[in-house]
Structure formats: structure tokens, C-alpha cells
Structure 1
């Protein structure tokens, strides 16, 4: 059932209040949720501590209010949220807890301004959006269950191999404990994990799959983050033979089954992990488009998948521009690869990226914003810019504008 005209009018009128108090509302909402033992384990506590998750939700709620007359404009945001929820095994019964906390937070923060009409309008608006997400998530769950090797809920996987990529980055190959096939992921997707970390309790994390699709394993690649509860635990404690709870691949940053345009991959740091899944998938195809990799890292020693990138370049599968921000000593020259000192800037991007390409962008928030804005300034159509952000979408530009 569509939203009533009165609700749409009231929600639109609330936009100035959301602009002024949206973050306070979401911070209050999360405080309520984290005190609820039925739902608190669903959240990434690190994103609570640094404020990313409340900021991301505040921007999303504001975007919803601004597009309340035509929520289809938010289809990409809604799809990203639905995929994230599926990875974390969010279920319909979780939504009432969130709705209750949100409405209580609105009432608390707005005080006397939260009239009965306003509260009723937001109750209806939340219920409408919750139904949209629940329906889409159920579609994804059913698709996972029907796919060969697919599953819903948590499935036990064993660490089959551990490989040190760099001093601070490790790849882990995971095989299903039941010995049955696994669903072939779409290149660019991630796995979600339910972790029981001593001293930290239950944590849930997403890590990009860095291997090409297969029916018997996945590979994830994790960079140690300073103070990162989960990444440090993986680096220091997870060894071959350990068991982990894993949900089915999810995410909407994906390579299509066929790609006719030239492809440009723009990445920085560990943002190359989903790109590697896409690269190895394209490399296995007999008919593939021209592929150009533009990647930024600190030094040759911090370059993840350096050997594989050079193998692909030597074979003529890709060309690459590699940017090293903290060194004057470049690696030896080789065919197909051009090395540069300094960061990848928007002006440099214009010198190395084909205008008629499909662009896949992954990296830290600042890098994403710079690259996407640079592409838009070059009049690259929005539908040819695909991006993945690690963590919460805590920047309003990345929530809805890219």
C-alpha cells in the first residue's frame, strides 16, 4: 500500500529538523538498540565507536525524507542495504525492534516538536520502507537457497590455507566443513562472518572475496587495521584448521556476466581485494574487453597482489598504472605497467582512464569521493560508475549521489 498523502507531506516538512538533529536521533536510536539483547549482536561495535554507523543512517533517513514522493530514486541505496542485511542475516522479526527504537529516539530528541501527527507519519514511513527491504531481502534469501551450493543462515567453513600477502595483509582460503559445493559468487561480492572474539564478544564483519568464483572455496584478504578488533584477531589468531561461521556471498558491487566496454579498475590500498576477484574472472574468459588497472598504495612493499598483477600484465591481459605515495624508489619497469610516484589524483586520472569505459572504484572514503567526483566532472554517466565502500556509508555523497 502506498504512503498516504498526509504522511508524505509531514515527512517532507520534517527535512529541516532532520538536517539539524538527524545524527542526534540516530545516535539515540543506536543507544537503545545496543541495550537490547535481542538485537545488539547484529551491529558492528567498531562502527558505533567511530560514529560511522549513526552518520550513515542519518544520511539515509534524510535521503528517504527528501525522496519520499518517489522512493524509486533510492533504489541503489535500498539494494545496497538489502544486500548488507542479507549478509548479516537480518530477519523480518528484527525490524520491529529497530522501528521502536527509531520512533522513541525521534520523540526524545525532538521533544514537544514530535506531535502525534508527526509520530504517526514516521511510524507509517518506517513501516513502508521496512516492508520494501523485507520483501527484497526475502527474494535474495530464496535465490541463495535455490542456487547450487547456496545456503541461508550461518554455515561452517574451515580455514584451508593462510598466505601472507604483505607485512600487514593476509589471505585466507575457506572450504565448507560439510564438504558440499558452495555457490559461485558474483565477482566483487563479500562474505559476512559471525565471530566470537575473546574479550570482545560476538562481532559481525564483511570481507570482500578476492578469488574468482569456484564451487569448493572462497578466499578473503584482510588488512590489519590499527585497533581493529576483527582484523587483528584474524591476523594474530586465525590459523589453518580453524572454523568460522559464514553467510552466503552478498553485495551489489559486481561484475556483470558479460562486459563489452573497456573496463577500468580504480582502487587504493586493500580496495584491490574485490577487484582481484573481477580481474581473475575476466582473465579466464577467451573474449574479454580491454582492462586497465589504476591502483594506489604506499610503497612496493605494501602492494597487495603485486605478483598476480604483473603476471596478468606480462600475459597482455591487462595494462596498469601503479601509484606509490610514500617512496621515490619504483619497482623495475616491465611491459604493460607504468609506475608513478605520488598519489593518484583527479588530474592524473584524466591522463590514464578511457572515457568510454565502465569504471569500478573501491577504496577508502576519501579516495572514493575524489575518484567519483573526477569521473562525474569528465561527464562519465552515473550508470557507468560502480563503487564499493568498506564499512558504513558515512558520507552523504556516497549514500545517494554517486
Structure 2
């Protein structure tokens, strides 16, 4: 437990963190990677160069300071972040390194304003929070290894099949290289993929949702190709996957992780709303429901640019055709002439609330949604405007997350770093 004096000091730094948080985290990563370049093997370099990871960490530190007097409220977020850390291979010995360089960054950025009392308070608070993470992750490592077919670290998987799902999304069917057992997973979870790309100084780790139901003799991931656009560089891992990885090649995977999962005990109708590659975890959830709960109504809504960019359309429609419980709706922002000719979509343009209210039978449902951040903010706003209960709203960020709410409403729930696709 933290002393009352420490809590008061930490909370007094909230306005400073709001103003200088991003400068502190940028300096933190500079110091960290200079002293420990080996840690570059764990971090997404694109997120670093675009300062997305720095912004996510700044939000986490800010939210932690806001809620330092109610540490129990941080526990759900701790579990989410611990899943990510476990999938990356973060260990207990990394925490003192991070703490040391975070304090150095605070001192560098704030200068004389970072008094010894403030630095000591943050050191004490960091120690308490780090202990919670270390214990949570130790338990996850143990569970990961001891489950049937489980392992620690990264395990070799052979690419059994490679399937182009759309112009930009390709699926990879993966089976254990050692022919051993394959652990089950919760629908919606992801795996970390560790890549060694020729010519690159560091390994690269990315997270990809498992896009089929558990219980299959394979894992399936479905990756979006991220080409260079404007000043945004190409996604090194996604481009390498699409261009260079073929059947017979080996990928190195962590055990499945993640908290954005289907509640299989829930009996309410379920609504899935996705944009772009955000449909991958929702397809896993859909396939699981039709396999195990044929009595549970499902509404599946997907937004894409057009039919060329629409992955899994045929598969989802086949599921709906054989499953009376499932209704599907497609929204295309810019349909092609062929899309119009064959009536390939239900709505042209963008999703809006009146249309959602028309196609969704009831707001007394459980909602899962995923996609680009602007899309998610829009969907979240519609659900709140419709007075959908917060407890029935579930979403997933791909990449370092932000907030779908107003900044003053930010909590650790909506600043947790998540995965890539």
C-alpha cells in the first residue's frame, strides 16, 4: 500500500503529466534504447517512429496518476496489459530497467520541478504497480506453459496454407512444426508473431488476431498489407508476410493472449460491428457461436471500402445461409461498378445510427466492435447515443490504443496498448 503522502504527491503531478507526459515518454524511450538496445527486439518500430507508443504510454502514466488512490480500479487494465507483456516475452527483470529510465526521463524533462520528494514518490508508486504486473504475468506464464499443448516463449509453426481474402488481407493457416498438441484459445484472442527479416538489425514482433474458431487443427491469422501511404512508411512485417512467407515456411508464435473475448455464457443477442481488418477477431467469435450456440441471435455488420477490400464475405454469408440465427449486413463506402451490378452491399456510404437501429433488432444485446480508431469512435458514439449499457459494449484497438471517450473521461480501460491486426 502507498502512504497517504505519496498518494498526494502523485496526484499533485497530474496537471504536469497532462502537459508534459508525451515529452517524458519520448525521452524515456530515447534513454531506454540507448542503454538497452536489445529491447528494440520487443518494440514495434513503426509505432515508435510515428510516436504512437509514446502517446499510449503517456496516457497510461497520466491515468495511473489520476487513479493512484484507487489502485483496485486498475486491476482489469493490469490484466489486459499483462496479456500483451506475456505475449511479447516481458519478464520480471525488465521492470527495474523501465522504472530507472522512467524516473530519469521525468527528471530530464521537468528539471528542477522534479524534486527529490516527487521522484521518491514516483519510485515508490512504480514499485507497487510493477509488483502487481510481475505477479499477474508470472501466473500467465505458468498457465501458458502448463495448459495442454502449451509452451513459453515462441514456438515454430509451419505455414500449411496461404489464402488471399481480399486485395489487402491474406490468411495464413499455421500448424505446429513439432507436430505437438495445439492449445485452445478464447474467441477474439491474438498471437504474437516474431519475425527475423533479412537486412533488419532487430527482430520484429507483431500481434495478429486468431481469425477462426478454436478447436481446429490449425491457427489462422489474417494480416492486412500496410503499404506506404504519403509520409507513412510501409508495414515491414505485413509486407514481408504477404510477399515472402509461403506454404512450408516457419513462423514463430506465442501462445494466444488477450482480454477482448467472447463471453460464451452470455445468452443475450450479440451484435458484431467491424471496419476493415477489424473483422478478424469477430469472425472467430461468429464461428464459435454458430458451432456452440445455435439458439443465440447474431447480427454481423461489416464496413469496407468496396467488394475488393472485403475479406471473408463468402465465408460469412455461407455461415448465415446455414444458420438461421445469423443476419449479415454490408456497408461499402465507395462501391465499384461490379458491386452495384450484383447488389453486393446493403448500404452505400458510411454507417449511421438510424441505419443501425433499422438493422439491429434490439439494443438489449451485447455489442462487440473493432476497426480503425475513427470508425470505432463513431460506433461508440452511436451506441452511447442509443443508450446501450456500457457493460454491454466491448471493443478492441489494433496498435497502441487511445480513448473513444472525452479526454477528461479517460481511464486505463481505454489507454491499454493492444495489437496490430
TM superposition score category, shorter chain reference:
over 0.9
Q: Do 1:56 and 1:395's aligned partners in 2 also have CA atoms closer than 8 Å?
A: no
1:290 aligns with 2:297: yes
Q: How far off its partner does 1:177 sit?
A: 0.8
Q: Do 2:77 and 2:413's aligned partners in 1 also have CA atoms closer than 8 Å?
A: no
| Whole-Å separation in 1 of the counterparts to 2:94 and 2:404 | 26
Match of 1:304 among 308, 311, 317: 311
Match of 2:330 among 322, 325, 339: 322
Q: How far off its partner does 1:77 sit?
A: 2.2
| Whole-Å separation in 1 of the counterparts to 2:250 and 2:54 | 32
For residue 10 of structure 1, what is the aligned residue in structure 2? 9
- Report the TM-score, using the length of structure 2 for normalisation: 0.91
Q: Do 1:259 and 1:288's aligned partners in 2 also have CA atoms closer than 8 Å?
A: no
1:386-397 matches, cutoff 5 A? 386-395=394-403, 397=405
| Whole-Å separation in 1 of the counterparts to 2:343 and 2:395 | 30
| Whole-Å separation in 2 of the counterparts to 1:170 and 1:326 | 21
- Decide whether aligned partners of structure 1 residues 123 and 265 sit closer, same or farther in structure 2, where only a CA change above 3 A counts: same
For residue 30 of structure 2, what is the aligned residue in structure 1? 31
Unaligned runs of 5+ in 1: none
Q: Secondary structure at the match of 1:193?
A: strand
Q: Secondary structure at the match of 1:383?
A: helix
| Whole-Å separation in 1 of the counterparts to 2:258 and 2:382 | 24
Q: How far off its partner does 1:383 sit?
A: 1.6
- Report the TM-score, using the length of structure 1 for normalisation: 0.95
1:204 aligns with 2:205: yes
For residue 106 of structure 2, what is the aligned residue in structure 1? 106
Q: How far off its partner does 1:109 sit?
A: 0.3
Unaligned runs of 5+ in 2: 228-233, 415-421
Name the one with the larger strand percent. 1
| Whole-Å separation in 1 of the counterparts to 2:259 and 2:341 | 35
Q: Do 2:157 and 2:252's aligned partners in 1 also have CA atoms closer than 8 Å?
A: yes
For residue 77 of structure 2, what is the aligned residue in structure 1? 77
* Two-structure CA RMSD over aligned residues (Å): 1.7
| Whole-Å separation in 1 of the counterparts to 2:411 and 2:335 | 34
For residue 349 of structure 2, what is the aligned residue in structure 1? 342
**Deviating more after overlay: 14-23 vs 352-361:** 352-361
1:207-356 matches, cutoff 5 A? 207-214=208-215, 216-226=217-227, 227-315=234-322, 316-327=324-335, 329-330=339-340, 332=342, 339-353=346-360, 354-356=362-364
Q: Do 1:300 and 1:331's aligned partners in 2 also have CA atoms closer than 8 Å?
A: no
Q: How far off its partner does 1:369 sit?
A: 1.5
| Whole-Å separation in 2 of the counterparts to 1:314 and 1:54 | 46
| Whole-Å separation in 1 of the counterparts to 2:411 and 2:185 | 24
Q: Do 1:330 and 1:339's aligned partners in 2 also have CA atoms closer than 8 Å?
A: no
- Decide whether aligned partners of structure 1 residues 324 and 128 sit closer, same or farther in structure 2, where only a CA change above 3 A counts: same
Q: Secondary structure at the match of 1:248?
A: coil
For residue 135 of structure 1, what is the aligned residue in structure 2? 135
Q: Secondary structure at the match of 2:117?
A: helix
| Whole-Å separation in 1 of the counterparts to 2:380 and 2:103 | 35
| Whole-Å separation in 2 of the counterparts to 1:172 and 1:160 | 8
For residue 419 of structure 2, what is the aligned residue in structure 1? none
